Structure 1
Amino acid sequence: MTLPLTLTIPSKTFILGEYSVLSNQPTLLVASQPTCCVRIHQTETPSISLSPNSPAGRFYHKHLKQLGLQLTFSIPERMKDAGLGISGAEWLSVYLAHRMAKQQPFSLWDRSVWQSCLLDYQSHQPNMSIPGSGADWLCQMLGGYLYYDPKNQRVTPTQWPFKDHSWILLQTGHKCATHEHLNSLKDTQPFSAWGQIVRQSWQYWQVGDADGFIEQVKMFQQQLRSSGKTAEQTQLLLQYLMTIEGIVCAKGCGAMGADTIWLMCRRDKIAAVHTALRERSITVVANENDIHHGVTWQQ
């Protein structure tokens, strides 16, 4: 692969499991619009906007700067504002740039490629009391709907199974800095039991049992709330959303559920749900039609 080239990297959303994955439990994610673009080219005076203490910044200064590689990020505002995977996109950019600089062909679905990426990611988080799992950028890398079990490092791509239901991702208008939040956590062991909810939801997902899956989403959100992992503004918005006819479940996503809310609604009520959201000036970030199939690149 010759430079220059441009990477396109999608957003990510944790449907379920954003805290339990920290204790080595499975998680269910989706990659979607909006996307960011990263231009990779060589220059005699490379500079970068990455935080030097982030995994991406550490990797760049260790491996890429001496190669004269410049990475220029073009990130849409709604991806920034909704916390949809900027740090994951940064990590993928530096890692894949390093791979591409070696001029060796590779496949993102090659297990050895993303396992190597996980190992490098883990080794570049020396100051994190609770390291990130890597599940977020793994979803961004591979795209679509993804069930990931970190215990055996098994990745299972899947499809939306509920023909009578759809989903919508909303922006809350608030943010929680994920890395700072992870460093504030003292222990991830309490989240381990939540893994059973994710496993059960996966069973319902695989057989297309919408009612069973919806109950598991509700249970996971209840765990988030009772454990103090739902921001106050998110909880208020969740309470309102559940009064809208057609919405069957909703949960905050990411750190403190602060940035976005993922909801399921009846397919025959989608128009009415969107009308209710517009009336409250609630921003829709993505929906079932905005699925993205992972990192792509072109010269």
Structure 2
Amino acid sequence: MTFVIPGKTFLVGEYSALVEGSVLGVATTPGFSMQTISQENFSFPFSEQSPAGLLWSESKRKFPFQFQDHIGWGGFGKSTAEYLSVLIPTLKANSNFSDIRLQYQSISEKCGARVSGLDMAIQYFGRILHFDQESQVYQSLGWNFSDFEFFIVSTGLKVKTHEHLATLNLDQIRHFPRISNPIVELYFKKNGEDFCRGLNEWSDFLVREQFIQKESLELSLNLRKSPEILSAKPCGAMGADVIFVMCRTENFSHVKHKISELNLNICATTQDIAMGILDQLSQVQGSAYVD
């Protein structure tokens, strides 16, 4: 049994997710994969002190597996993919994700990490993930802008997310959802230009709040100098890992060339939006999800 675990990118609501804010994210390939294998010569591949390691040690039923990282760059949810690799063989398509998320938060806390669990939700539900904090509903959506394309670009930079979040003062970010929640809702208006302006507004807000790393900010501002690039938003902890770039479909080739001129690696585009674990569980088990 093999499962593809997509990479994740937060579009809007990172940090807000920690203080009861709504979230919009995208799941893409390449990502990660796990394959169940025979017990013979199995050696657990992750740190025993990681959330995946702790889940493995606490599990009554253990399923040996092989894990592969098909990305090679940081910022796409490797730690949650590792955790899911341990968890997947025990899941059913009608498993309650709210319970899965709470367990992950609890285990992560034992490891000294503060997490929202919504990065894992992006990988679990797949495609464009919308989580509404008020209703506690998870939605897996299609790409809403037929005349617009995106690139997900690796910066080559990295902030250790768990360490960063562990030292974060939540009182410092409690006002973030007031800015991010309305921008999340712009996705449903299906107006690409408005959504790009919203992404830039969220990015500029994070800059003012000093939650975007200097090097990543400089890269995004260089990209935004090109009139064909309508948005270039740093994503991940301190915006360090990746930049989400949007343009009109007719400018796709030009923007692709512009990104290559800056020696940045394109990790995914609109064509790489991926299904999540839930869809694969449903295919294997022939059951629909009920939360």
**TM-score higher than 0.5 here?**
yes
CA RMSD of aligned residues (A): 2.1
Instruction: Identify the residue that residue 128 of structure 2 maps to in structure 1.
Output: 145
Aligned residue for 1:51? 47
SS at match of 1:264: strand
How far 1:128 sits from its partner (Å)?
5.9
Q: Which amino acid aligns with 2:85?
A: S
2:69 to 75, 79, 88: 75
Paired with 1:166 and 1:177, the residues of 2 have a C-alpha distance of 29
Aligned partners of 1:12 and 1:31 also within 8 Å: yes
| 1:281 match: secondary structure | coil
Match of 1:96 in 2: 88
Specify the alignment match of 2:106 in structure 1: 123
CA distance in 2: counterparts of 1:12 and 1:238, whole angstroms: 19
**Number of equivalenced pairs:** 281
Aligned equivalents of 1:27, 1:83: Cα separation in 2: 17
Deviation for aligned residue 1:221: 0.7
Q: Hey, what does 1:37 align to over in structure 2?
A: 33
Deviation at 1:114, TM superposition (A): 1.0
1:171 maps to which of 154, 174, 184:
154
How far is the alpha carbon of 1:84 from its aligned partner?
Answer: 0.6
Q: CA deviation at 1:29?
A: 0.4
Report the secondary structure of 2:131's partner residue.
Answer: strand
Match of 1:27 among 20, 23, 29: 23
Helix, strand or coil: the match of 1:192? coil
Contact 2:9 2:26 in 1 (8 A): yes
Aligned to 1:265: 247
- 1:103 is matched with which residue? none
Distance 1:212 1:129, change over 3 A: farther
Q: Is the 8 A contact 2:11 2:25 kept in 1?
A: yes
Report the alpha carbon displacement of residue 140 of structure 1 after superposing the two structures with TM.
Answer: 0.5
2-structure distance, mates of 1:44, 1:275? 48
Tell me the CA shift for residue 75 of structure 1.
0.9
Query: CA offset at residue 74 of structure 1?
Result: 1.2
- Structure 1 pair 197/165, CA: closer, same or farther in 2 (3 Å)? farther
Normalising to structure 2: TM-score of the pair?
A: 0.89
Match of 2:13 in 1: 17
Q: Percent identity between the aligned chains?
A: 29
Report what 2:289 is aligned to. none
The answer to whether the Cα contact below 8 Å between 1:241 and 1:247 also exists between their aligned partners in 2 is yes
Structure 1 residue 160 and structure 2 residue 143: aligned? yes
| Superposed displacement of residue 53, structure 1 | 2.0
Q: CA deviation at 1:129?
A: 6.0
Once the two structures are TM-superposed, the CA of residue 148 in structure 1 deviates from its matched residue by 0.8
- Residues 32 and 11 of structure 1, relative CA distance in 2, 3 Å threshold: same
Check whether the contact 1:36–1:73 (CA below 8 A) recurs between aligned residues.
yes
**Among residues 198, 212, 222, which one is paired with 2:204 in the alignment?**
222
Between 1:126-135 and 1:247-256, the stretch displaced more is 126-135
The alpha-carbon distance between structure 1 residues 216 and 197, as it changes in their structure 2 partners (threshold 3 A), is farther
Contact map agreement 2:199 2:231 (CA 8 A) in 1: yes
